[in-house]
Structure 1
Amino acid sequence: MSELVFFLEEPSAKEMLKSVLPKILPDTYIPIYVVFEGKQDLEKRLPGKLKAWKSHGAKFVVMRDQDSGCCFIIKSNLVNECRNSGKPDALVRIACHELESFYLGDLAAVAKSIGPNNLAEKQNRAKFRDPDKLSNASQELKRIAPNYQKISGSRDISKYLDITNNRSKSFNALISGVKRLVDES
């Protein structure tokens, strides 16, 4: 069994991955989640955690939200931290702008999990065609699905996420990157 270690900025990302990863990971991989207390904590403690990880054959994924920062700068800084920590092959993925963009990319999953039932028909509206462009994805999700709560919502919605048909480009980049990472073994 090989370890696939995820370094995450928040617990809601872990809840999402716990449902999504079984859909794409071979049985030979065990996901391990290291959850930080926000993006500053992740960036501060990531180098030490990477350097300390000694399991032979472990693969690493670093994921955080873009929020209001520049995606390219954030990713470049994290890639450099991984390289400088002796893990140059770590996969770095940024949720543009927020994790909730992943959910806005599959409104059918939101409708099935927390409602309301008519959300799927909104997927072709301009704002939901490319949810990564929304700088306020969490507010937008809460507006259209008032029952949404960050951790329980992530747990519920992710059970229904379609990994092959999501409008969020950053979600698709995460899925394809993880698949490529495990296929390289």
Structure 2
Amino acid sequence: MLEKELKNEHVEFLLEEPSMVNLLEIILPKILPEGYLLDINCFLRPHQGKSDLKKSVPSKIRTFSNFYRPAKVIIIHDQDSNDCKELKKELMELCKKNGNCPVLIRIPCRELENWYLGDMDAIGKIYPQFRSRSHKYKAKFRDVDNIFGAFELEQIIDDFQKGYASKNIPKFMDIKSNKSISFNQLIIGIQKFLGG
């Protein structure tokens, strides 16, 4: 892409953990609207957990509200056991108190691993012993956003490791047919927020 085709805009993804970086490095090039490129005008900023992420939000929002070019911030924060709407409201209020740059907040329902459960075939590609067909039609996996994904994956895959999974499962994920509603909301939200 030629430099003149790049959007004169800076996009910061504020992320709870490095595992989300692994996923987004694979997914974003497939979904970012034209004019946006990772490490050129879109940047992934991992944090060391929820408290570190929340602590950094005020200063980041102040910085990007007064940035040398237009800036947007996308915050991705796991729900875990929080009320999704309350968590999103809390983060949005924190942003509004500290600046006025455009902000998109997305909450993976429960946690990142739920998004993997939304595409069981992708899991089966990196864990050959995992039989996706025997799991994807089970009642408890019909609504993958309402279970604790990491716990479930550890129960059904003996050698499940978060880091390995985050670097490999996304390579095989079918973005258009993921069963996780929160994953689909992330994709739609990013594209709409960035004008795609």
Q: TM-score of the superposition, structure 1-length normalised?
A: 0.92
Q: Distance in 1 between matches of 2:188 and 2:22?
A: 19
Query: Is the contact made by 1:115 and 1:147 (CA closer than 8 Å) also made in structure 2?
Result: no
Query: Is the contact made by 1:104 and 1:128 (CA closer than 8 Å) also made in structure 2?
Result: yes
Larger Rg over CA atoms: 2
Identity over the aligned pairs, expressed in percent? 38
1:159 matches 2:159:
no
Unaligned segments of structure 2, at least 5 residues: 1-5
2:115 to 102, 121, 146: 102
Q: How does 1:47-58 map to 2 (within 5 A)?
A: 47-53=58-64, 54-58=67-71
Give the residue type in structure 2 aligned to 1:118. R
Counterpart in the other structure of 2:139 = 126
Give the drift of 1:73.
0.8
Give the drift of 1:141.
0.9
Q: How does 1:25-174 map to 2 (within 5 A)?
A: 25-30=32-37, 31-53=42-64, 54-87=67-100, 89-134=102-147, 136-174=148-186
1:147-185, CA deviations, whole angstroms, 9 ceiling, x for partnerless residues? 32112211100111111111111111101100101116x
Q: CA RMSD in A?
A: 1.6
The secondary structure found in structure 1 opposite 2:45 is: strand
Runs of 4+ in 1 over 2 A off after TM superposition: 1-4, 113-117, 145-148
* Alpha-carbon spacing, 1:5–1:55, altered in 2? closer, same or farther (3 Å): farther
Query: Is the contact made by 1:114 and 1:157 (CA closer than 8 Å) also made in structure 2?
Result: no
1:5 to 8, 12, 32: 12
Give the drift of 1:55.
4.4
Q: Distance in 1 between matches of 2:133 and 2:101?
A: 40
For this pair of structures, how many residues does the alignment match? 183
Unaligned segments of structure 1, at least 5 residues: none
> Which stretch of structure 1 is more off in the superposition, 120-129 or 91-100?
120-129
Give the drift of 1:3.
2.9
Query: Is the contact made by 1:79 and 1:88 (CA closer than 8 Å) also made in structure 2?
Result: no
